[in-house]
Structures are given as C-alpha cells and as structure tokens.
C-alpha cells in the first residue's frame, strides 16, 4: 500500500480556494459480486494538509471500467487553484457525464468546506471512508500527483 503523507494543516485563512490540489486517489469498488448493485468510485483529494471525499455509483451495464482513462478528465486540475477546479467541474461537468460530474463536485466541495472551516464539525451524511480500508477492497486504484514539486 502506498503511504501518503501531507503536512499538518496550516490553512490560508484568507482564501483556501487559491490553494492547489496536491494529489488525488481514486478507488473502484464492487459492493458485492453476487448482488446486482452498482459499483462505487471514491475520489480522495489532498490539499495543504486537508482532504476531501466524493463518491458516485457506476451502473453495472459497463462490464469493464478503465479507471485511469475514466478519471483522466480530472488531470485538467493540475496546477490550478481549487476555485478554478470547482469552476471547471461546473462548466465542463455535463460533458464529463453525470457520474464524473457528481464525483468531482462532491469531492471538491467537501475539500473546500474542510479548508474554509477546519474545526467545524462535518455536516455530510456520507460517512468518511478510510483510504487503507478502501485500497484493500478495491477492484482498481489510481493515484495522480497534481501539484508539481519545485
């Protein structure tokens, strides 16, 4: 398993939306191979010591899902501030398809909320998964570095 470490949170209180996403992880899971329920994709974003989660269901009609190719639309976020990534998801989300749009918007908004109010209790009804548990159950996993180290 890949160990991912981010520095401790030191938020830019003035504008967390100017921060750039460091990297993202995607997990493709089958809930149960014997029950006809959709597969699930989780998107985990990291930025300045914070992380945000998004989740979407993928119809079972797709026999095979190439997670690297499917998630390649998110590579346009490389070296862009969080605000621009949110704008890209809003403007281009329809052309990405409903699943990717929902996944992107939910993860980006979750990350922005955590960065804007790091000590506020989470209001999301979605339970927060643990990356180590997801990777153990994943059918497919990918990692993208989005912030270039200088």
* CA separation for the pair 84, 94 (Å, rounded): 16
The pLDDT value given to residue 132: 85
- Residue ranges of domains in the chain, CATH in brackets: 19-145 (3.30.390.10)
- Reported as type and span, the H/E element at residue 55 is strand 50-58
Q: What distance separates the 2 farthest-apart alpha carbons in the chain?
A: 50
What is the mean pLDDT, run by run of 10 residues, along the chain of 150 residues? 51 65 90 63 91 86 80 90 92 91 93 82 68 86 80
CB 18 within 8 A of CB 12: yes
* CA separation for the pair 26, 103 (Å, rounded): 10
The pLDDT value given to residue 141: 92
Kindly give the interhelix angle for 82-96 and 98-116, rounded to the nearest 10 degrees: 160
The pLDDT value given to residue 149: 64
The pLDDT value given to residue 126: 62
Q: Which of 102, 78, 71 is nearest to 89 (CA)?
A: 102
Q: Which two tokens stand for residue 113?
A: 């909320």
* CA separation for the pair 22, 19 (Å, rounded): 9
The pLDDT value given to residue 62: 63
pTM over 0.85? The answer is: no
The pLDDT value given to residue 102: 93
The pLDDT value given to residue 150: 57
- Reported as type and span, the H/E element at residue 54 is strand 50-58
Could you give the angle at the alpha carbon of 69 between the alpha carbons of 42 and 144, nearest 5°?
60
């Amino acid at each position: 398993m890949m160990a991912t470490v981010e520095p401790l949170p030191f938020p830019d209180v003035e504008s967390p939306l100017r921060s750039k996403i460091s990297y993202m992880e995607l997990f493709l899971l089958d809930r149960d191979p014997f029950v006809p329920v959709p597969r699930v994709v989780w998107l985990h974003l990291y930025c300045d010591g914070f992380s945000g989660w998004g989740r979407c269901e993928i119809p079972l009609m797709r026999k095979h899902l190439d997670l690297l190719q499917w998630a390649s639309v998110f590579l346009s976020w490389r070296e862009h501030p969080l605000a621009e990534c949110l704008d890209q998801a809003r403007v281009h989300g329809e052309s990405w398809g409903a699943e990717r749009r929902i996944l992107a918007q939910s993860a980006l908004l979750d990350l922005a909320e955590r960065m804007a109010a790091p000590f506020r209790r989470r209001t999301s009804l979605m339970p927060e998964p643990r990356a180590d548990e997801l990777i153990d159950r994943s059918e497919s996993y990918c990692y993208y570095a989005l912030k270039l180290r200088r």
